[in-house]
Chains A and B, each alone.
Chain A
Amino acid sequence: MERAVPHAVPLGQMEVFQALQRLHMTVFSQSVSPCGKFLAAGNNYGQIVIFSLSAALSSEAKEESKKPVVTFQAHDGPVYSMVSTDRQLVSAGDGEVKAWLWAEILKKGSKELWRRQPPYRTSLEVPEINALLLVPKENSLILAGGDCQLHTMDLETGAFTRALRGHTDYIHCLALRERSPEVLSGGEDGAVRLWDLRTAKEVQTIEVYKHEECSRPHNGRWIGCLATDSDWMVCGGGPALTLWHLRSSTPTTIFPMRAPQKHVTFYQDLILSAGQGPCVNQWQLSGELKAQVPSSSPGLLSLSLNQQPAAPECKVLTAAGNSCRVDVFTNLGYRAFSLSF
């Protein structure tokens, strides 16, 4: 894990060092500000940078507008996951979750608001936190990661209220089912588990790899991405990207994508997915591939749709992954430009 620029290095070497840093950068997470005009991105060096979307999208955007407006070192390890409440940016990495005030960040202050560590079973292990989820009804945050549990933290008091156990291997992704307050989690053990937040119990388990139609044993059984739309769920990763009907736990449509998908989301009447391979794929619910739009990174890890009502002119899709660039799609049909670290 590399830190920021070392001291007392001759100029040529520093430039080489920075270029190497950019070459090996991976952007793991993104989050849109509550006003909709800024995008935060976290990379594997623990830095969080803020891009100004309104400046980059405006008609007199120059090359500098596509560079970050604020950069700060947030974590010691990679920033795996970020999420925004209406005033804070919450980021999580190797074992710790920290929060920052958006207003402070935009004024170039980099002091964290609070930092917490969920109660781990042993104090020796410091498992990474792979996914964060906000539950607005309860005003709480759910963390999940390497210790195979889902921890719930109340945002007002900062106390950890529940620890949901059931996964046998680490958890990759979380999704919230709004109608009944249920959380879906998918992990390395190949199962998607639904948890009821009120009773803190597991209500349903779908073992994706056991279904012949979608399992791909040569890829493994890990579930890399989850998205849900009340009655329906789409998940992918090792097994093929599949659309499930939750009530009956049946796989209804299998999307013919070879490469394992790392991020998936529902958008209007489409399903957007991205993973290994440079393209953002758009699927219809019937299983047809509507479009495949190439991006500038060789592989994508995260997609973010800016649907904040306060900034309708910044309504874009941003994709980031195994490179130092964040691609901006103003229209789902093509890549408009790239923001760069």
Chain B
Amino acid sequence: MLAYKLTTEDFEHDEVIRKRLLIDGDGAGDDRRINLLVKSFIKWCSSGSQEEGYSQYQRMLSTLSQCEFSMGKTLLVYDMNLREMENYEKIYKEIECSIAGAHEKIAECKKQILQAKRIRKNRQEYDALAKVIQHHPDRHETLKELEALGKELEHLSHIKESVEDKLELRRKQFHVLLSTIHELQQTLENDEKLSEVEEAQETSLETDPKP
């Protein structure tokens, strides 16, 4: 593996850096740790003294446990991501449902608005007519006025009738008076004429007899 690294590093430097950047921060350290572990293992195999070997062995065990620890962490993170995805899926579905519910509510509200507009229109029509009606006077008052006027009319016509009757009576009385006066005049004239004629006859009788 070491030989592989030596040959590829020169040509694929950018690739490696990009891959390392893509993996989490811990991952870069892990790669190096595994390389160091391999190197120290080889060194340990070829080391001489017992104590050094033992300490190197301990160091290797600790690096190994460190690697296992970071692997466990990444597995947990992976698990967490999966569960997070599920959670998001659930929330997404809930939001979709509530959107559909909101759409329905909007349709309901629109219907209610239409109904309310119809009611408002009816009220306004009523108000408009009511305004016009208010201009005209109250029916009871007009009826009362009509009654009063009717009564006055009756009263006045009674008075007129009685006055006319009186007038008739007076006229008749005057007529009678005038006709009696006229008759009297006639009789007086007649009497005068008669007395004149008698006088004339008397004077002619007096002058006439002359034999």
Task: Report which A residues bind B (CB closer than 8 A).
Answer: 231-232, 243, 245, 248, 250, 252-253, 268-269, 284-286
Contacts and interface: CB of A to CB of B under 8 A. Distances in A.
A284 B124 CA distance: 8
12 contacts: A245-B128, A245-B132, A250-B132, A252-B129, A252-B132, A253-B128, A268-B114, A268-B118, A268-B121, A269-B118, A285-B125, A285-B128
Interface residues of B, number: 12
Given A248-B132, A285-B121, A285-B125, 20 more contacts: A231-B125, A243-B128, A245-B128, A245-B129, A250-B132, A252-B128, A252-B129, A252-B131, A252-B132, A268-B114, A268-B117, A268-B121, A269-B118, A269-B121, A269-B124, A284-B124, A285-B124, A286-B124, A286-B127, A286-B128
A11 B210 CA distance: 157
Contacts of B83: none
Interface in B115-142: 117-118, 120-121, 124-125, 127-129, 131-132
Contacts of A231: 125
Nearest to A243: B128
A257 to B, nearest CB: 17
Contacts of B121: 268-269, 285
B185 to A, nearest CB: 70
Nearest to A286: B124
B114 to A, nearest CB: 7
Interface of B: 114, 117-118, 120-121, 124-125, 127-129, 131-132
Shortest beta-carbon contacts, A-B, top 8 = A285-B124, A269-B121, A252-B128, A269-B117, A268-B117, A269-B120, A286-B124, A253-B128
Nearest to B131: A252
Question: Of residues B120, B125, B131, B132, which shows the largest number of chain A Cβ atoms within 10 Å of its Cβ?
Answer: B125
Nearest to B136: A250
A232 B125 contact: yes
Contacts of B120: 269
Nearest to B113: A268
